[in-house]
């Protein structure tokens, strides 16, 4: 038993010794003798880079395609330097200005490249490369102004409506190959907000779409934007919508007041839209005035203008209104009589006035119990010369009719009297 244990220990020691000898031999070969590699070591995925792109753009040229993206470079050298190979930063640089040597720079050209790397040992050399040239396609660089489209994707709050949708700019300038630019069918700038109740603005990206509505990757297409970061400010104007009643002012008289009349306005309301600041405090639109002393028992006018506030819109599209005023007290009625008690007032200091009108037909309105008691002796007609004082000649002026002795009867309607004004007394015949 003890002999077997001793034999096993000898075998293990022999194996350790053999490995140590092998390592020593390999170390000697690699670092002392340092023979050349039997086969080159590849460095894969070597990036292809370009120089001179700015010079191409100066001549309105642009690279639109490269047949390969990376290369594989095989390095030779001595065994001791293999670790440096795997750590090297290698790149292939294509000088695009070589294109200028061609009669026609546009098209596909096979261009040579320079391998750029840093070697820690002079023994490392390039054995071969996966391909000797890179095929580059060059096209004319064009710039084009393309229109932007504003898109609102959302909802408007109740009692509000969407107004104008605007952008901070109408177009964007795009540079690149003409074929690539032609792929752009639309450029959308979208505002996505729900339940808007006020005008809202925000900066949003420009989304470039092809004819099928698919988004275009500008960088992949070799396209760039000129003087733009690819965003625009989109503004959704929001308008308040408000239904506002129409109203009319009433000037009461002796026999007609708010208590015994009805007012019918058609339409009764109009619907307006506008900035909330212009509509929030608007609760009524006054379309005119009716002086109850100037009407009889009923009055109708169809063409009252509906004047709305500035910066608002009449969504009802109704420009005029009809107003009917009726006296509802059945004890109030009309009668007529002629009167000739005509005088004047407010003449100029040098005016000599002759009243030409001799009689006027007067319409009386009042309580039927007293209306028939009124006689011409109760009627007094006074012409007001204020507007013509000092003016000579024959003219017509407004007159006011008084009904003396009755508190519930009045003259209604409008009356005028003709007068002659001179600066000398009229001749007495």
The predicted-structure confidence for 45-90, as pLDDT tens digits, reads as follows 999 999 998 998 888 898 888 999 999 999 887 777 776 776 678 8
Local structure of residue 78 (DSSP, 8 states)? B
The residues facing 338 across adjacent strands are 361
Q: How distant, in Å, are the alpha carbons of 134, 308, 318 from that of 246?
A: 80, 11, 12
Domain 143-238: give its CATH architecture: Beta Complex (2.170)
Inter-residue contact 285 to 244 (CB < 8 Å): yes
Within a 10 A sphere around the Cβ of 293, how many other Cβ atoms? Answer: 19
Buried b (16+ CB within 10 A) or exposed e, 37-58: beebbebeebebebebeeebee
Distance CA 64, CA 50 (A): 13
Distance CA 24, CA 300 (A): 124
Q: Where are the domains of the chain?
A: 41-141, 143-238, 240-327, 333-422
The per-residue pLDDT for range 318-342, each reduced to its tens digit, is: 999 999 999 999 999 999 999 999 9
Of 66, 230, 204, 209, residue with least CA distance to 137: 66
3-state helix, strand, coil in the chain (%, to 5): 20, 50, 35
Q: Which two tokens stand for residue 240?
A: 């308040």
- The alpha helices in 93-239, defined as continuous H runs, are 178-181
Report the pLDDT value the prediction gives residue 125, as an integer from 0 to 100.
82
Local structure of residue 18 (DSSP, 8 states)? H
Fold: same for 143-238 and 240-327: yes
Q: Which two tokens stand for residue 291?
A: 């002086």
Of 363, 360, 376, residue with least CA distance to 335: 363
Domain covering 41-141 assigned CATH 3.30.479.30 in the classification? no
Q: pTM score, two decimals?
A: 0.60
Inter-residue contact 204 to 231 (CB < 8 Å): yes
Domain 333-422: give its CATH architecture: Beta Complex (2.170)
- Region at 212 (left for phi over 0; alpha for psi -120 to 50; beta for the rest): alpha
Report the pLDDT value the prediction gives residue 30, as an integer from 0 to 100.
47
Within a 10 A sphere around the Cβ of 327, how many other Cβ atoms? Answer: 21
Report the pLDDT value the prediction gives residue 428, as an integer from 0 to 100.
62
Report the pLDDT value the prediction gives residue 223, as an integer from 0 to 100.
92
Rounded mean pLDDT for each run of 10 residues along the chain, 429 residues in total: 55 60 48 65 90 89 89 84 73 92 90 84 79 91 95 95 96 93 96 94 97 95 93 96 97 95 97 92 96 94 95 94 96 95 94 95 94 95 94 95 95 96 79
Report the pLDDT value the prediction gives residue 67, as an integer from 0 to 100.
92
Report the pLDDT value the prediction gives residue 427, as an integer from 0 to 100.
72
Class of domain 240-327: mainly beta
Distance CA 127, CA 377 (A): 137
């Amino acid at each position: 038993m003890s002999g077997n244990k001793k034999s096993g220990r000898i075998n293990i020691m022999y194996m350790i010794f053999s490995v140590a000898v092998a390592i020593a031999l390999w170390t000697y070969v690699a670092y002392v003798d340092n023979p050349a590699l039997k086969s080159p070591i590849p460095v894969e995925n070597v990036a292809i880079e370009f120089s001179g792109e700015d010079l191409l753009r100066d001549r309105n040229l642009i690279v639109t395609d490269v047949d390969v993206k990376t290369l594989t470079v095989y390095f030779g050298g001595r065994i001791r330097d293999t670790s440096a190979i795997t750590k090297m930063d290698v790149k292939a640089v294509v000088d695009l200005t070589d294109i200028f040597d061609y009669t026609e720079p546009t098209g596909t050209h096979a261009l040579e490249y320079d391998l750029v790397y840093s070697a820690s040992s002079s023994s490392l050399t390039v054995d071969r490369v996966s391909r000797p040239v890179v095929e580059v396609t060059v096209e004319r660089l064009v710039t084009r102004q393309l229109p932007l489209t504003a898109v609102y994707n959302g909802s408007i709050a109740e009692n509000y409506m969407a107004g104008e949708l605007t952008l901070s700019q109408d177009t964007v300038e795009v540079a690149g190959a003409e074929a690539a630019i032609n792929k752009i069918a639309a450029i959308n700038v979208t505002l996505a907000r729900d339940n808007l109740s006020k005008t809202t603005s925000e900066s949003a990206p420009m989304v470039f779409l092809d004819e099928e509505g698919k988004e275009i990757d500008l960088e992949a297409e070799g396209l760039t934007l000129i003087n733009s970061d690819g965003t625009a400010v989109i503004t959704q104007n929001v308008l308040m919508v408000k239904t506002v009643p129409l109203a009319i002012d009433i000037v009461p008289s002796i026999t007609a007041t708010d208590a015994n009349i009805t007012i019918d306005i058609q339409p009764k309301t109009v619907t307006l839209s506008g900035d909330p600041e212009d509509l929030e405090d608007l609760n009524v639109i006054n379309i005119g005035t009716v002086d109850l002393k100037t009407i009889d028992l009923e009055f109708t006018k169809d063409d009252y203008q509906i004047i709305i506030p500035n910066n608002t819109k009449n969504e009802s599209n109704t420009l005029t209104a009809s107003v009917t005023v009726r006296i509802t007290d059945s004890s109030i009625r009309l009668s007529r009589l002629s009167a000739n008690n005509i005088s004047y007032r407010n003449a100029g200091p040098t005016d000599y006035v002759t009243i030409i009108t001799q009689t006027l037909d007067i319409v009386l309105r009042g309580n039927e119990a007293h209306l028939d008691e009124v006689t011409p002796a109760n009627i007094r007609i006074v012409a007001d010369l204020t507007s013509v004082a000092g003016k000579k000649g024959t003219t017509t002026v407004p007159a006011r009719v008084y009904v003396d002795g009755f508190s519930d009867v009045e003259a209604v309607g409008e009356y005028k009297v003709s007068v002659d004004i001179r600066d000398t007394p009229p001749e007495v015949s």
